[in-house]
Structures are given as structure tokens and as C-alpha cells.
Structure 1
């Protein structure tokens, strides 16, 4: 019998591993402490980026002790920016320290939250249940954690299609082909681009994803939706789903959930809510009235890596009746012996092998905060948003353009006749200076600066710095 030999090249002696982990932990703590004092972003020369992207794999290996130094030298100094408290661009929050610890523990255990009977999968079930409750969904709602809002929207649209085709007895064969060719989905003009990607992925042509006009407060017009559905029904088409939004990416607007659900119920449509940014707003008393009717929707997307400060990427596909997700995605193989009494989570999604880190980080942050802490976190976002809007409205050179209920603010530097060029230049120069970061967004055909607030480390001083920087850059450009 041949001797059993270990696979070489990967193992590290226990004491050496402990030393490297302590070194890495010290690096993490130092990095987090230094972020607020550094630039929000630091652009890197294109030739240096090409070097990193194309560096060859050597024949001989490297010492594992080099990796932390390599990241510290070649990656960490050139961040995306979302860890900085003055980053107000794309809607990605930084990871809370508890979530960083949870992520390390999860990759050490390295369980797949797709198959088997183990505690990591139960942790995900608990995290999903807590998210559903905070979002205002009814008892019994459930779902799965995902890589982000895009995947969550895809899962929910696929479930909506499966449910609808089953309801008209067109699940397969020629009836499926005929019915699928007639399907129509509806969204607002401000719906996130991932909904269009999801519709394309499940086979809907662009012409069958209808964009419904907005009201003056940039919410989906429920009356126009009803008219569009009736028009398509009269044309022999098959409306099957409406996608509304709570906390739109453009302006933070919240669509009229109850009114849209009423249209869906009248015509037998699935109501999906893209709440990637604003899905947990029902947990805050000031926002809760905007979420009237949320318990009656069919599905909801939530992104913990936005409002809850867990690591990228983490979303959630939540469904009032989880069996509808299972009906869309459950397939069995002889080499995977699941439990019908408590189905595997892979039965509810397109993934089989699924990282447990999502469950660990969401569970850790939610249980560190508790219900009161979640409300306080959201309250901080809203207070900083109110201050930003006050500062904008108080200065004659700034114009508030859109101010939805959520923590997104759109504004412009007043420059008659030079709007888009100045707006773009301000955003670019602000990024290059490194003291703050804004995105731009099209509002009714004209660009505006857009500030989103979802960072637990953002302070009043960061808000004031942002406004001061915009005013200084605007004066430089227009002086």
C-alpha cells in the first residue's frame, strides 16, 4: 500500500498561520483607521493598471508572507472609494467591523449554503427571516441571499414568469412557447438598469419591458400603468409582472406600493419591488407611511451591502410565498439527495454552491444592531440627508433638484447655459481632489450631481466638506 502524502504548497504551520493572521488583523485595523484621513479615491496610471491586470503567473511559487505586503502596496492605495465617509457616489456602503470578522470566520468554515444539513444554512434562513420582518413582509415570507440586487431581481422576475405561466397552464411545450412570446413586464422610467438586464436574461425582448411615466414627484404613475396593462390585454398580449421601486437609484423616490398592487390584483399580475436601496425603510417610523401595502407585494429585493454596511456583494430575494421561488428553480440530481421536509437553499435560486459569508455578515450586523439599532442607522442617513439639503437650499449658487424620502439628494451648481458641462466638470474635479465623491444622474434630460448616503462612518463634517468643495470648484470653473 502506498503511503498517504499531504498535498504540498498550501499548508502553513499553525504557529506561523497564527502570526500571519495577527499581522493581517493589525493591517485591517490600521487600514480602517487611516481611511477617513486619506483621499476618497486615488487614480492610478493606465500603464500601472495594465501591469497589474496582465502580470504573468511565475513558474515558481511565492512565499505566502508576501501577499499582505503586495495588497498593501499595489491594491489598497487605489480604492473604489466607498469605504471613505465622504464617498457619496455609487450606493455601496463600507463593511462594518463586525461584518469583517464574520467574513473571516465564514471563509474559515467554508460551508456551502446551497446543499447539506448544517448550521451555516440555518444561519442564512435566520438572516433572511429577519430581513423580511424588518422590510414589513408577512409571517411566512422567505427567500435567499444573493450576490446583490441584480441577481435578486433576476430571481424574482424568473419566479414571476414561472408562476404566471403555471397559472395559465403554459409551463412547457408549445403552450409555453406561444405564451412566452406574448409576455409583457412593466417598470418606471427610473427603474434600475438591472431590471432590464433581468428581463433580457429570462428572454423578454426590450420592446416587452414597458417604461411607465413618472408623476411630478418621480414615482411610477399607477393610473398610466393601468392604462398600459389594459392596452396590452386588448392587443392580445400577456402582462405578467410589474416592477416598482422603493428608494430609486436616481432620486430616492418611493413608488405608490398599494396603488400598484391594486392594479396587479385587478389583472392577475405579479408585483415585484426593487428595494435594493430602500427595501428596509419600513423599519423607520418616518419612512414607514411610504411603505403602506408592502405586506401585500409578491416579492422584494433588498441589498444589505447598501443600507446595512455588510461586505460586497450581498443582496436578498424575498418572496411572500417562498414556494414560488422553489417552483422556479428546484431541480434534483441523483448525486444530490435533498430533504423535502426542509429543502436545501439551492432549491430557491440558480446557485448550487453558495458562499456562507452573506449569511454570517448579515446575521452578525443585524444581531449587533438589533431592531433599535437598525432604526438608528437609518435615522443617521436621514439626518445627514436633511443637513445636506439645508446647506444646498441656503446657498444661492446651488439648486436642489430632487429630494425623495430616502437618503439621495440631487442638486446643481447654478450656471445658466452651461449646466451639463459644469456638472460633469465638478464631479470630475471633486474626484481628482480626493476630498469627496459624487455621482451624476440625468434628471429630465439634464445632468445633476447626486449624493447618496449609506455609510455608518459619515459625519456632519463630511457633509459640510462636500458642499464646501462643490462651491469652491464651481467658483473656479465659473469665475
Structure 2
């Protein structure tokens, strides 16, 4: 039909066109307020004469919201029984890529039906408990609802005088206390993720080092023939570190990849030698980035020893704890994260263990003034900031940016400190259990010991000798077969040049049954593919 969104039959097993709650709400609307919700002369969702479509949607918000809530509730409840990996069919891809822009606005109900039929059936697998890829969590239901409140209020978290900005003050303190970061004089910013948080921190570190050297970086830029800026990071550091130094104009030639030990942790002695060599060459070290839980292996750098080097040479220490810093709540790891308190700044992502819907990355800094010096620029058309709480836009590149505080606060408030600690500890324990199962299995091989909730292993047929190239190929095919089975998502990575099956536990429902299932699945598929 011209002017409508692409129609297609619902996928097999999909819910009925309208969930029970939505049908009930629609019947109520038709019975009580037929003129607004629809009549034989004017269908529900069509524009009333002279009424803007958004005005009509506002007036019908309860009905539309009930339909949406029913649709999303069905989606969440059905998710555990769905295949973990679902590929968007070719026909659906083409429909979505070739939609014409409607000339006349579509009814709200038609838009919601399109989302139910064409979008919800094909998500990425991260919401499923048996999705073990990367470091992604499902969204906490209460955080989904809180995010809807934030969207409805439409108040950016950049500044001005509104309730969420004051709530952010408490939320920032909560996050600092959870990981043992000093709260006095410190600041928490919520950005799009770990990459943005680290970029912000390294921007402040760069400006701080230049200022100490008598260099007005904001005025001169990097064109003044000054000393070469240098940063240091573990060879296991996240790829975003490289992208950050590229974006800052420092360049990858000036990012020192510090060698790691057998457990993939930065070697403080190698760090010290690199700093000394750069100082002798007249360079300007501005930041050390330590891993507080490497994405690939879960490795945790010796933060205390790295902090000693940073303090000795007066270099800004940033801890990339986007994934791992939450493990400060796990008694088995708490001691290794105590030195987070010595860092100048820390990245940690609420959209990982706390189960906050993407996107949300937190930056903790002990030096708000350094961030303000690097970023603050207040035009005449903006009012002065509130003296009670800082305006985040004064401490970052963005001016307008979304309110991530409500969904983050809601998830943490729902869990509480003990609930988050239990979740982190359980996930780490499950990784340890998988590690133990792999060690005793004759057809499995551990490629890196479990650290935090990450395990790297591979299938190795018992009683057969295969070289690494053949094993790489076999495990790549096992990973693909796992996805095709619909039973789990288990991607590959590389550890010391060898292909690994990398499992990461992060779902709030993960338990020992998931470990048993994963081991059995890999062994079964590996045996079939190696035959």
C-alpha cells in the first residue's frame, strides 16, 4: 500500500500482532473515548483535523505506551527460548534498506506494528544469557523504563537546573564508592562508553602535562615545535587507546606498547625503562594507561606498581577499568583493585556488569579542574553554571548530551551494593569453573587462565595431533557452528597468535548450568567437525 511501511508475515514463533495488554488497552480506548482512539470514520492513530500528529500521540500516550509495553514485555519474556544468534533474512534486509520516505505521516499504531514486525525479531544476541561474546550485558528492565522517563523529560545532562543533574551528584558518589575511588573533590561524568571516557581523560592529561611545561595547548595546538608527547599502555590494552592517541594528534608512533608477563599483565620494570628513555630523549610523557581487566584476557595490571612509576615521574595515571573495575566488589579480586584509589582517572562502564542499556561509560577523575581547563568554553548565550553541582558540559567536549543518569541510577538502585557484588562474584566464579572444566577435559585446552569472567580455550581432539593452523581452522568452524546451532554465541579471539574460543560471563541469570551446557556443546560440535 503506498505510504505505508513494508509489510511481511511475522516470523515463525513470533507473538501475535498485538499483545494481550495492548489489546485490552485498545478495547478500553475504543469503548471510553472512541473519538480519540478511533471510529469507523477515522481509524485509531490517524490525524485529527487540525491536530499535529505529535499532539495526537501525546493525547493518546497511555494507549500507545500500553501497546509498546506489552510488545516489549513479550519480547523480553520470549528471549530465553529464542535462538541466541539470529541473522536478518535477506528479504528483510532489502526491505529495511529501501524504505521510501512517506509523504504523509503514518499513524502511530502502524509505526509500532512496524517495529514489532520488522525490528524486534532480529536483535544482536547480547540480551540472551548464553551469549558469551565480547563484554556485553543484557539491559536491566527497570533501566529500560527509567530511560523512557529520561527521554520523556528530554533534559540533557549537560547542565542547567533540573532534577537529574542533582541526582547525578549522588550517582557519581555511588560509583566512586563501589570501586574505591576517592570521592572528595572528584567528579563522575557519564559518556557514551569506555572509548569516550578514555578520550576525555587523555585529553585532560595531555593539557595538564603541556600546561606544566609552559605550553598553552589550546592556543598553540600541536604546531609549536614543542616536545614530543608520549603515552604508555599495556600491549594488551583496548583498541580504543590507540584510537584516542590518534584523535589527540599524538600519533601511534608516540604510544609505547609496554610488554606483558606470562599472565598478560604490564611489566612495571619495562614501563620504567620506557619512561626513562623518553625523558632522556627530551620527550614529554603525559599519560600511563593501565588495564583494570583487559577485554581479551581479563588481565589486571599490577596497579600499585604502575602507580609507583607514575608518581615517581609525575605522569597522569589512567586506569581502563571499563569492564573489570567493578570486580573491586568481588572479595577474590578486591586486593588487586585497591590501587584504583591512586589513579588520576578511571574508566568503567555501567553498560557492562551493572546491566545498564547501552550506551553508558563512566569517567571518574580526581582532577576536575584539569578537565575544565582542557574543555571549558562558555558562550554568551549560555547562563552561568549552578554553584551547587558542576555542569558536565564544562568538563567535556560535548555541549548537549543525553541523560544517562536515570537508567544508571535505576539499575544500581535496583541491585544495591550487595546485589551488584553478588552478580560480579558469581560471573567470576563461573569463569573459574569453566577454567577447571577445561583443564581436566581431554579434548579441551586452556589458552589463558581465567581472569575476572573471561576464559580463552580451544577444542583439541583427544588422541590426534593437529598443528596450530589446523586447530585454528577447526575452532573457527566450531565458533560458527555454535552460532548456527542457535544454542549459544561463542566468538573467537587470538591469544599468543592462536585462535581461541573466548567466553565471557556477564548475564544476571548465568549459572553453573550454562557452564555445563557450553562445555558439552563445544565438545559435541568439535567431535563432529573433527571427524
In the superposition, the TM-score normalised over structure 1's length comes to: 0.95
Moved more, 31-40 or 60-69: 60-69
Call closer, same or farther: CA 1:179–1:220 in 2, change over 3 Å.
Answer: farther
Matched, 1:423 2:475: yes
Superposed, which structure 2 residues align to 1:140-219 within 5 Å? 140=184, 141-172=186-217, 177-178=223-224, 182-219=228-265
Give CA-to-partner distance per residue, 1:418-462, whole Å, 9 cap, x none.
121112111111111111011211111111110111110223222
Shift of 1:167: 1.2
**Residue 302 of structure 2 is aligned to residue 250 of structure 1:** no
Q: Gaps (5+ residues) in structure 2?
A: 1-48
Residue 431 of structure 2 contacts residue 451 of structure 2 at CA under 8 Å; is this kept in 1? no
User: Contact 1:99 / 1:311 at 8 angstroms: preserved in 2?
Assistant: yes
State the distance in 2 between where 1:175 and 1:195 align. Answer: 21
Structure 1 segment 304-453 matched on structure 2, within 5 A:
304-339=350-385, 341=387, 342-356=389-403, 358-415=404-461, 416-417=466-467, 418-453=470-505
Larger radius of gyration: 2
How far 1:232 moved relative to its partner?
1.2
Q: Is 1:65 equivalent to 2:115 in the alignment? A: no
TM-superposed deviation, 1:92: 1.3
State whether residues 227 and 282 of structure 2, in contact with CA within 8 Å, keep that contact through their aligned partners in structure 1.
Answer: no
Q: Distance in 1 between matches of 2:181 and 2:236?
A: 24
Match of 2:164 in 1: 120
Provide Cα deviations, 1:327-360, integer angstroms capped at 9, x if missing partner: 211111000112262431111111111211x100
SS in 2 for 1:243: strand
In 2: Cα distance, 1:378 partner to 1:250 partner: 18
Checking the alignment, whether the CA contact within 8 Å between 2:323 and 2:348 is kept in structure 1 is yes
Q: Deviations over 1:178-227 (max 9, x none)?
A: 46660011111110001111111111111111111110111011110101
- Residues 175 and 94 of structure 1: CA distance in aligned 2, closer, same or farther (over 3 Å): closer
**Pairwise CA distance, 1:120:** 1.1
Change (3 A) 1:118 1:14: closer
Work out which of the residue numbers 131, 134, 137 in structure 1 matches 2:178.
Answer: 134
| C-alpha distance in structure 2 between counterparts of 1:402 and 1:180, whole Å | 43
The residue aligned with 1:473 is 525
Shift of the 404–184 alpha-carbon distance from structure 1 to 2, 3 Å rule, reads farther
Aligned to 2:138: 94
Structure 2 Cα separation of the partners of residues 205 and 60 of structure 1: 50
State the 1:282 CA deviation. Answer: 1.4
* CA displacement 1:206-263 (0-9 Å, x = unmatched): 1111111110111011110101111111122111111111111011010011111111
Shift of 1:44: 2.0
- Structure 2 distance, partners of 1:110, 1:9, is 19
CA displacement 1:159-183 (0-9 Å, x = unmatched): 1101111111112455964466600
1:41, 1:60 → 2: CA distance? 36
Which of 48, 51, 75 aligns to 1:31? It is 75
Counterpart contact for 2:431–2:450, Cα < 8 Å:
no
Higher relative contact order, structure no. (Cα contacts within 8 Å, ≥ 6 residues apart): 1
- Whether the 8 Å contact between 1:183 and 1:208 is mirrored in structure 2 is yes
1:288 positional shift: 0.6
Q: Relative to 1, partners in 2 of residues 1:206 and 1:7: Cα closer, same or farther, differing over 3 Å?
A: farther
The answer to whether the 8 Å contact 1:186/1:241 transfers is yes
Tell whether the 8 Å contact from 1:282 to 1:288 is kept in structure 2 after alignment: yes
SS in 2 for 1:437: coil
Shift, 1:391, TM fit: 2.2
Which residue is equivalent to 1:80?
A: 124
Q: Judge conservation of contact 1:82–1:92 (CA < 8 Å) in 2.
A: yes
Aligned residues: 474
Following TM superposition, by how much is the alpha carbon of 1:7 offset from its aligned partner in structure 2, in angstroms?
A: 7.0
Asked if the contact 2:325/2:337 (under 8 Å) is kept, the reply is no
Partners of 1:184 and 1:190 lie apart in 2 by 18
Q: Distance in 1 between matches of 2:59 and 2:198?
A: 45
Separation in 1, partners of 2:107, 2:510: 38
Name which of 40, 45, 64 aligns with 2:84.
40
**TM-score normalised by structure 2 residue count:** 0.86
Q: Please provide the CA RMSD for this pair.
A: 1.8
Structure 1's 391 and 404: CA in aligned 2 closer, same or farther, altered over 3 A? closer
Residue 232 of structure 1: aligned partner: 278
Task: Describe the SS at the equivalent of 1:61.
Answer: coil
Give 1:110's aligned residue. 154
